Amino acid sequence: MISLSAPEVPVPAPAEPGRTVTPTEHRAAAVDRAATAGPLAVLGVPGKVNLDYAATAPCARAAADAVAELLPWYGSVHRGAGALSRRSTLAYERARQCVADFLGVRPDDSVVFTRNTTDALNLLARSLPPGCRVVTFASEHHANLLPWPAGTVRLPVPGSAAEAVRAVDAALRELRRGSGGGAPVLVAVTGASNVTGECWPVAELARVAHRHGARIALDAAQLAPHAVLDIATLAVDYVAVSGHKLYAPFGIGVLAGRADWLDAAAPYLAGGGATLAVGAATHDVRWVDGSARHEAGTPNLLGAVALAAVCTALGEADRAALYAREQSLLARLRSGLAALPDVLELRTFDDAAPRVGIVSFVVAGRDSAAVATELARRWQLGLRDGLFCAHPLARRLLAEAAARSGRRDLPPTALRASIGLGSTPAHVDRLLTALATLG
Ligand code: PMP
């Protein structure tokens, strides 16, 4: 049975006699309500605590309501003349506009619906112009590591944001020198690490890339759910996101960005909806330009509409306050973990680097999978264990944690706790108590 999880929706504490509730307390309570009630309330099962938002965030009420409202009108998209089909087509294209507004795309950018971030980055990889070189980091999620062509420059994991900027600068200078400056280049980086939550210096990297005549693609799978992301302000050329990490259901993602490479590329999927005209001869096909070129087949209408509903709800919310709320939960989590003698946090940058609500750690002397199982069984806590589809980074950070701490009993994989809308201090405290009393 699915129900809205709102067991801990806070209300302003009743003023003790002689004390009135302060404006700050009122605002904090309003922000808590925005994060745990209303359109941004998340669905869940009472008693089960999801601390795995980085893998898949729970579905927001805005998404569930949008789907329920559209279901009776469910019809073919871009195919039929009937009322249901026309309404579905309109809903699909409106969804594209909502997502475009949420991401702050430029007027001539393409917004292509994909299955997820992996799909979006694979689409971009298939759309690179001939001879394009790619520069990325070894610290990327596999989705931003594996799709790129042979000859991709994989920079070592940097020790700081400034080092990342210097490394990209040097790599781009080298590529320019090697190619005489003519070949297209794409820098592909994450906005926030799915392992450490650390934020990358995206705007600075974009400036450096553009100074060298390169483009930059942002893997925003982990950044977009937590922080305001504006393509035009960051001046990135492409952004990839996943709906299921943004409080919408599975199966929908987005690649947004410069239209020219996408329009010049072969369609990602060959089939109906991507064509202008098809002749009798095998290769006699004219393809459309724009988003439809890469969206052949019947599209995921419900996914697009659900994602758009969350984008609209987030767009109308006080994002700065939601960010501050999450940061306060994150600080509670990190300081609680730091106080546990056998727990070591994994990090790439220094302790004070900006982060979103993701923390990976190990419990010395304990197998991470066994700890995750105990947390689930005894405490109803859902965390992830493993190497988080970022094997090179996770292995390196585990080795660094061992070297830093001098401990020889660290496990070969890690645990990850990640939070978002719907997370509460009680969830964080339950994890900390559970870790303090591991069986
Ligand atoms: N990039 C990052 C930073 C991620 O965290 C993830 C998912 N863990 C992905 C890309 C891939 O997302 P998806 O599985 O939705 O394609």
Pocket test for ligand 1, best of 116, 142, 198, 202 (most atoms within 8 A of CB): 116
The residue type found at 357 is G
User: How would residue 384 be classed by pLDDT, with cut points 50, 70 and 90?
Assistant: very high
**Phi and psi at residue 54, to the nearest 5°:** -70, -25
What is the model's pLDDT at position 143? Answer: 98
What is the model's pLDDT at position 17? Answer: 57
CB 348 within 8 A of CB 389: no
Average of per-residue pLDDT across 95-118: 98
Give me the catalytic one of 98, 132, 311, 389: 389
What is the model's pLDDT at position 24? Answer: 73
Angle at which helices 23-36 and 319-338 cross, to 10°? 90
What is the model's pLDDT at position 21? Answer: 75
Q: Find the 129 Cα to ligand 1 centroid distance in Å.
A: 24
For the record, the structure tokens of 215 come out as 């483009």
Identify the weakest region by mean pLDDT among 81-85, 168-172, 302-306, 385-389: 81-85
What is the model's pLDDT at position 7? Answer: 36
Identify the weakest region by mean pLDDT among 7-16, 132-141, 283-292: 7-16
**pLDDT tens per residue across span 214-250:** 999 999 999 999 999 999 999 999 999 999 999 999 9
What is the model's pLDDT at position 370? Answer: 98
Q: Whose alpha carbon is nearest atom 6 of ligand 1? A: 221
Pocket test for ligand 1, best of 389, 391, 418 (most atoms within 8 A of CB): 389
What is the model's pLDDT at position 1? Answer: 30
Evaluate if residue 316 carries a pLDDT over 70: yes
Average of per-residue pLDDT across 74-87: 90
Average of per-residue pLDDT across 298-305: 97
For ligand 1, which residues put their CB under 6 angstroms from it? 54, 116-118, 141, 143-144, 190, 194, 219, 221-222, 242, 244, 389
Distance CA 393, CA 415 (A): 14
What is the model's pLDDT at position 32? Answer: 73
CATH topology classification for 27-59+318-436: Aspartate Aminotransferase, domain 1 (3.90.1150)
Burial readout 320-337 (b: 16 or more C-beta within 10 A, e: otherwise): ebbbebbeebbeebbebb
- Annotation says 311 is catalytic: no
Q: Which helix (H) or strand (E) holds 341?
A: none
**Best CA proximity match to 217, nearest among 238, 241, 199:** 238
Q: Where are the domains of the chain?
A: 27-59+318-436, 63-315
What is the model's pLDDT at position 5? Answer: 41
What is the model's pLDDT at position 4? Answer: 39
What is the model's pLDDT at position 14? Answer: 47
Identify the weakest region by mean pLDDT among 18-27, 101-110, 343-352, 379-388: 18-27
**pLDDT tens per residue across span 35-44:** 667 999 999 9
State the chain's mean pLDDT as an integer. 93
**pLDDT tens per residue across span 167-194:** 999 999 999 988 777 899 999 999 999 9
Average of per-residue pLDDT across 57-76: 95
Q: Is-same-fold flag (27-59+318-436; 63-315)?
A: no
Average of per-residue pLDDT across 129-143: 98
Average of per-residue pLDDT across 341-348: 97
Q: Find the 249 Cα to ligand 1 centroid distance in Å.
A: 14
Burial readout 292-312 (b: 16 or more C-beta within 10 A, e: otherwise): bbbbbeebbbbbbbbbbbbbb
**Best CA proximity match to 294, nearest among 121, 54, 102:** 121
According to the CATH classification, is domain 63-315 in 3.40.50.720? no
**pLDDT tens per residue across span 12-59:** 444 565 677 777 767 777 777 766 679 999 999 999 999 999 999 999
Which ranges of 104-160 does DSSP label H, i.e. alpha helix? 117-126
